[in-house]
Structure 1
């Protein structure tokens, strides 16, 4: 029988090949395309401003061969479905970052979804509404989209060949805050039910905030995310209410935490606070800190950095908590 270390090392190697777009034989692997778009709110999102946001699509990419779109003006939030070619029954809701100013849909969304779909996990990339675009309840607007997305995934589990009890969540940067917010406030009533799906649980079965904003406390948080979500001048009570480390309970799902210690955008203190809060409540937690990988690397920019093993580490953890096969 193989020891767990050997299995995890092989998982990390195969994951690295997958991230590079290669199979174990070195052949180029075809990326899994999005197969469907699901509107979260078919009759219109709650709290719509009198002048709805107008979708804007920009790009960070200077290479025409690389897609790196950022979205803002999102009035019709949705989830893009990436079906696994060989589904193992697990699912992952992916929440890209963008400082709650925009949604970095390719680098921290679709690319990660294609990779995980190649590992057998059916993925759903969330394009969520941005809090500073006029919504009636801005601080809880992204969370309402995340809760609704989890519920819709469970409602359609049979259609996508997934197990409704094996639905995880992953988020990056501000999307990591949304992931942690979902993991800690999944039961908060932040919108009125619209159909039968809203009778289902919004609790993810596992959560992976990656280089996340966690705290809204000045000096620890990412200032732009704080300003967009709760306002730069938010008082102490509002700050605490939207700091994920202050909302952990024993019902928070198992968490995989990842951060670079030299991150100069979102201080590593964020994840350390979240880890301490999780451990204090007895929540199973796996934490990885890397010395020199900065911020916003996703899977595209890991290269030879110390963070390069993270995809394999994540897959090994996902298998242990039941999301991966």
Structure 2
């Protein structure tokens, strides 16, 4: 047995540990000269949604379950690239996936938008660096480096798509100890992704949303009554691009649910979206 394989099996057998939080940029995140931001905040406006804002020191929190099966999913909360809905689109999703034996990595990416015209630049850097760190430290966390996926909501869904389709277009200086040449996730789960279409034409993908023959498997989740730049047409159009190339993909569009349902128990079928995702992951061989 190869040493790498032995290390993986040993790590896999270790019982679940306390979550480990990793700084993505030990020497400080790359920011534009003169950029300033207030102190990081976590608040609840009385609507039950926990909002994290002013993130300048992005982190990845790795949470390993007792029955870890070697698969890992990076979870990207939504929030319009202005805040992070850190609970119902973050920690609660991680808790559910852990029950399936999936190790999770909650990505606290940089918000608010640094450049309103191109808001995903810094978050994409954070996602690309996250893939690199997880692949470098796969044996330590008991995960397989070729079974690392990414899941995100709304703006985090857009980030998920960008990290999937533009994984190796770097806008920062790479560190060989933290980055990998190919940061493409092994699978992708955008949930009501935003900003894939223009507000004036929701039936045409934006030019940067380009699927290629090397794009990894994708499972899309949306509600039919979502509107505007978060319209369900986004997911339908992206699915069709996968279909054109005969790439593995699955699409779930629910009749009702609106936007931002996450882990909310609405009593609607959308509350079962993670069950469907779990079934897809099982069918694809990532969950036993």
- Is the structural similarity TM-score above 0.5? yes
Q: Are 1:167 and 1:205, in contact at CA under 8 Å, matched by a contact in 2?
A: yes
Q: Structure 2: 5+ residue runs without aligned partners? A: 1-15
Per-residue CA deviation, residues 138-180 of structure 1 (Å, 9 max, x unaligned), is: 5421111101101111111111111111101100011000001
What's the counterpart of residue 24 of structure 2? 40
What's the counterpart of residue 234 of structure 2? 270
What's the counterpart of residue 8 of structure 2? none
Per-residue CA deviation, residues 17-49 of structure 1 (Å, 9 max, x unaligned), is: xxxxxxxxxxxxxxx996121000001111244
Matched, 1:240 2:245: no
What's the TM-score once normalised by structure 1's chain length? 0.76
Match of 1:287 among 251, 255, 265: 251
Q: Are 2:55 and 2:109, in contact at CA under 8 Å, matched by a contact in 1?
A: yes
1:62 positional shift: 2.8
Per-residue CA deviation, residues 204-250 of structure 1 (Å, 9 max, x unaligned), is: 111000011152423356xxxxxxxxxxxxxxxxx633xx2xx2111
What's the counterpart of residue 304 of structure 1? 267
Inter-CA distance 181–311: structure 2 relative to 1 (3 Å threshold):
same
Match of 1:208 among 176, 186, 189: 189
Matched, 1:187 2:173: no
Per-residue CA deviation, residues 254-278 of structure 1 (Å, 9 max, x unaligned), is: 0001111011462111111211222
What's the counterpart of residue 10 of structure 2? none
- Aligned counterparts of 2:32 and 2:57: Cα–Cα separation in 1: 10
Match of 1:172 among 141, 153, 163: 153
1:296 positional shift: 0.8
Matched, 1:324 2:284: no
- Aligned counterparts of 1:61 and 1:139: Cα–Cα separation in 2: 25
1:309 positional shift: 2.7
Inter-CA distance 178–164: structure 2 relative to 1 (3 Å threshold):
same
Inter-CA distance 62–131: structure 2 relative to 1 (3 Å threshold):
closer
Structure with greater strand percent: 2
What's the TM-score once normalised by structure 2's chain length? 0.85
- Aligned counterparts of 2:253 and 2:235: Cα–Cα separation in 1: 9
Q: Are 1:168 and 1:323, in contact at CA under 8 Å, matched by a contact in 2?
A: no
Q: CA RMSD in A?
A: 2.3
What's the counterpart of residue 101 of structure 1? 82
- Aligned counterparts of 1:276 and 1:72: Cα–Cα separation in 2: 35
What's the counterpart of residue 74 of structure 1? 55
Q: Structure 1: 5+ residue runs without aligned partners? A: 1-31, 222-238
- Aligned counterparts of 1:114 and 1:171: Cα–Cα separation in 2: 15
Extract structure 1 runs of 4+ deviating beyond 4 A.
none
Q: Are 1:206 and 1:253, in contact at CA under 8 Å, matched by a contact in 2?
A: yes
Q: Are 2:78 and 2:155, in contact at CA under 8 Å, matched by a contact in 1?
A: yes
